Every structure is written in C-alpha cells, then in structure tokens.
C-alpha cells in the first residue's frame, strides 16, 4: 500500500511539473509575436512561397494573403499563406487528440519549432511534431495506474 501511495505522489508531482511547465511564458511565443509584427510591416502584398514538406513541393502565389496559384498542387496539405503558417506555429502546445489510448489515458500534443527571417519575419523553417503523453487530467489515466 505504501508503494502505491509513493507512486501516486510521484505521479502527482510529475503532473504538477507538467502544469508548471505549460504555464511558463515561452521565448518562442515572443519570437512569433516579433516575427508577425515584422511581416505585417512588409511593403508588399503579392509574393511567392516555396513550401517543401518531406517529398512534397508547392510553389504558391499569394495576393493579399489569399492563394491565387499553386504549381504543382499534388501535396496532401492544402496550399498555405504566411498568415496560415503563423496560425500553425501558434498551435504549439495544443492537444490535437485528447483521447488516443486506453480510453483517455493518453493524449497527442503538438510541438512546433520555427525559425524566422530576420528582416521580413516570415517563417523560414517549421518543424511540427505530434507526441503522445499521459493525460493525467483524465480519470482513465488514474484508473489505468491503479489497475497496473
């Protein structure tokens, strides 16, 4: 019984650590804000965007933040504008799927890392990862621990 109590306490501490880590302000959020500000001050509304994702390539023409042409358009994700990419980057830390295993004992979390052009602010590189993690806020997580 003492072992179960120690395990529960350890999980509670780990859960509080996750909560504290999510509550901390992010340097990447400040970088995103600064990049968006630089992008909003650009002197043009018409641009071309070359997106490469694994084996997929899109050459996108954008006018007033609306896609007007894409060549080639054989990629799974739809063509995006720079504003769309900023929206994607803002999803950092979001839960994409709240229940992925053992009821709702696990959830998928999106992690986004981005690099920005120093002058214009547009993203030059975006890395998106989806990672499963324990869903300690849901009763299914605690039920699974007790049954183990």
pLDDT at 27: 59
What are the Cα distances from residue 93, in Å, to 1, 10, 25, 75, 137?
36, 23, 12, 25, 16
Structural domain includes residue 35: yes
The pLDDT, as a whole number, for residue 117 is 97
Averages of pLDDT over each 10 residues, the chain, 148 residues: 34 39 59 97 96 88 97 85 95 79 80 95 93 80 77
Domain for residue 78, yes or no? Answer: yes
Number of domains in the chain: 1
- The answer to whether residue 77 is domain-embedded is yes
Residue 10 inside a domain? The answer is: no
Write down the pLDDT at residue 26. 52
Which domain, by its residues, includes 142? 27-147
The DSSP string of the chain is -HHHHHHHHHHHHHHHHHHHHHHS--HHHHHHHHHHHHHHT-S-SEEEEEEEETTEEEEEEEETTEEEEEES---SSPP--HHHHHHHHHTTT-EEEEEEETTTTEEEEEEEEEEE-TTT--EEEEEEEEEEEE-TTSHHHHHHHHH-
What's residue 39's pLDDT? 97
Domain annotation covers residue 106? yes
Rounded distance between C-alpha atoms, residue 67 and residue 14, angstroms:
45
Q: Phi/psi at 140 (nearest 5 deg)?
A: -60, -35
Question: Is 21 inside any structural domain?
Answer: no
Task: For residue 7, tell me if it sits in a domain.
Answer: no
Q: Is residue 105 part of a domain?
A: yes
């Amino acid at each position: 019984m003492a072992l179960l109590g120690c395990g529960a306490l350890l999980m509670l501490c780990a859960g509080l650590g996750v909560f504290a880590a999510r509550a901390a302000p992010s340097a990447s959020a400040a970088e995103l804000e600064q990049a968006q500000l630089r992008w909003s001050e650009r002197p043009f509304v018409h641009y071309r965007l070359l997106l490469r994702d694994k084996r997929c390539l899109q050459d996108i023409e954008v006018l007033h933040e609306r896609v007007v042409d894409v060549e080639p358009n054989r990629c799974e994700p739809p063509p995006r504008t720079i504003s769309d990419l900023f929206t994607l980057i803002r999803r950092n830390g979001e839960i994409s799927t709240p229940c992925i295993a053992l009821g709702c004992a696990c959830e998928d979390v999106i992690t986004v890392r981005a690099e920005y052009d120093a002058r214009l602010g547009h993203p030059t590189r975006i890395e998106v990862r989806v990672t499963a993690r324990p869903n300690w806020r849901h009763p299914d997580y605690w039920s699974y621990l007790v049954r183990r």
